[in-house]
């Protein structure tokens, strides 16, 4: 028991935002706490491409930290439209491991739906060109999301993770049928998130990733405060319960899934 507590099972935070101001005062300490909790790898996500140099610098400065970049759908109307060529150029960096996050958000920004769709299709093409996984944000846009993801697959294969999955069961099933992955965030730990837990419990374990989306969505007992990569372990413990496996088994399975999908960040 003492050895397990000293050396917790290794796990991956597949999606966090280490460049956000929430971490400005203590980023090295937050990364150290993550490693102490067994979170030996993390992917920090750039949501506005003008911030890519700062996000890249974080990945370059820390072992086990990788990065991805794209235009978040909620920012699509405010940011210059990127190009496939620009994303492909960024992807040449050895620590650049994914395309996005991109997607559709009609909950807050339905008025920019058309530019979001255009941006999403550009990111899909970049994922197809590079072979890197697409990182999808989906909120209140299930039908359009399913249609555009499927449309992309008809032209060329690509891989994808539905980040911080909290949409409906139909989009989850469609995503799994397309060969994609679902990522479990702190939302799955919230008492009222019964449907989200049911969606994950019905999905095959070999398609599940874990993330924090830090600094957002901290799981209990930290809910309402800043999230950080170390708390990946708290969400993963709920995931282990859902699948009826030990925490170590769940950590190993989701880490293997991460290695398969985010192949540039493989151990």
Summarised one tens digit per residue, pLDDT across range 189-239 is 999 999 999 999 999 999 999 999 999 999 999 999 999 999 999 999 999
User: Cβ contacts of residue 248 below 8 Å, gap of 6+?
Assistant: 4, 9
Which of 59, 109, 100, 95 lies closest to 82, judged by CA? 100
Q: Which parts of 174-254 are beta strand (E)?
A: 181-184, 208-210
Q: Which two tokens stand for residue 40?
A: 């030996």
Q: What residues contact residue 206 under an 8 Å CB cut-off, 6+ apart? A: 253, 256, 257
Structure tokens at 22: 């929430």
- In the predicted model, residues of the chain with pLDDT beneath 50 are 1-4
65 close to 42: Cβ distance less than 8 angstroms: yes
- pTM: predicted TM-score of the whole model, two decimal places: 0.95
Tokens of 28: 């090295």
| 8 Å CB contact between 70 and 100 | yes
> What's the pLDDT at 5?
52
Buried b vs exposed e over 229-255: b needs ≥16 C-beta within 10 Å? bbbbbbbbbbbbebbeeebeebbebbb
**What does residue 94 show for φ and ψ, rounded to 5 degrees?**
-60, -25
| Topology (CATH) of 2-265 | TIM Barrel (3.20.20)
Q: pLDDT at position 82, please?
A: 98
For tokens 């949501």, what's the residue?
Answer: 47
């Amino acid at each position: 028991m003492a050895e397990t507590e000293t050396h917790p099972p290794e796990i991956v935070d597949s999606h966090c935002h280490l460049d956000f101001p929430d971490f400005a005062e203590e980023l090295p300490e937050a990364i150290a706490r993550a490693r102490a909790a067994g979170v030996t790898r993390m992917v920090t996500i750039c949501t506005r491409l003008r911030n890519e140099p700062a996000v890249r610098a974080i990945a370059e400065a820390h072992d086990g930290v990788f990065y991805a970049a794209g235009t978040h759908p909620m920012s699509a109307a405010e940011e210059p439209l990127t190009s496939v060529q620009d994303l492909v150029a960024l992807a040449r960096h050895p620590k650049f491991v994914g395309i996005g996050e991109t997607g559709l958000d009609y909950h807050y920004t339905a008025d920019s739906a058309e530019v979001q769709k255009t941006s999403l299709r550009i990111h899909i093409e970049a994922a197809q060109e590079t072979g890197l996984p697409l990182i999808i944000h989906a909120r209140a846009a299930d039908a359009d999301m399913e249609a555009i993801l499927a449309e992309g697959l008809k032209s060329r294969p690509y891989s994808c993770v539905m980040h911080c999955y909290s949409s409906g069961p139909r989009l989850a099933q469609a995503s799994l049928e397309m060969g994609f992955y679902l990522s479990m965030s702190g939302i799955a730990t919230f008492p009222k998130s019964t449907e989200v837990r049911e969606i994950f419990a019905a999905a095959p374990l070999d398609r599940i990733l874990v993330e924090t989306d830090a600094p957002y969505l901290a799981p209990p007992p930290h809910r309402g405060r800043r999230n950080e990569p170390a708390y990946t372990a708290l969400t993963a413990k709920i995931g282990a319960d859902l699948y009826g496996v030990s925490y170590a088994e769940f950590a190993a399975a989701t880490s293997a899934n991460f290695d398969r999908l985010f192949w540039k960040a493989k151990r």
